[in-house]
Amino acid sequence: MARVYEKSLRGDPLRVAVVCSRFNEVVTGRLLKGALDGLSACGVTEDAVEVARVPGAFEIPLIAEQFAQSGDFDAIVCLGAVIRGETAHFDFISDFVVNEIGRIMVRHHVPIALGVLTPNTVEQGLARSGGQHGDKGHEAAETAVEMSNLMKLVRGRSE
């Protein structure tokens, strides 16, 4: 019979780092609250969570890299809101942030949950940060816990 690795949202005794941008605070503050609530709901203790607030989404990968490199965390949650404007700036920032977060995750073998929203409007960001379209901060927290547990299972298969 095939070995199947199942979803687990058991957060104790995980250590989780959260990187959250301050830019577009009206959205990112809600994402952060959702992520912290999600980690708590999974059983991650408050003293096992470290939060770094960075100026904007562009700075998220640098701090995520530091957390990943430290080896102190089972998972990282990255939160931000890059809202489309009238220039190509949106495309450059969102592409860079998403690509770098992916590279950091693969390079350091640390699960990183992508909670960086790329809405067209502030209203769309609000709808996805605890509004009518869900709570992407909470979802990112659950993803971090689930992937951390899955990594432990997969790593342990050869032990």
Edge-to-edge strands of the sheet including 112-117? Answer: 49-54, 16-21, 75-81, 112-117
Separation CA 28–CA 94 (nearest Å): 15
Scanning 4-158, the segments in alpha helix (DSSP H) are 25-41, 60-70, 89-108, 122-127, 136-156
Return the structure tokens found at 156.
């342990």
Which positions are annotated as active-site residues?
89
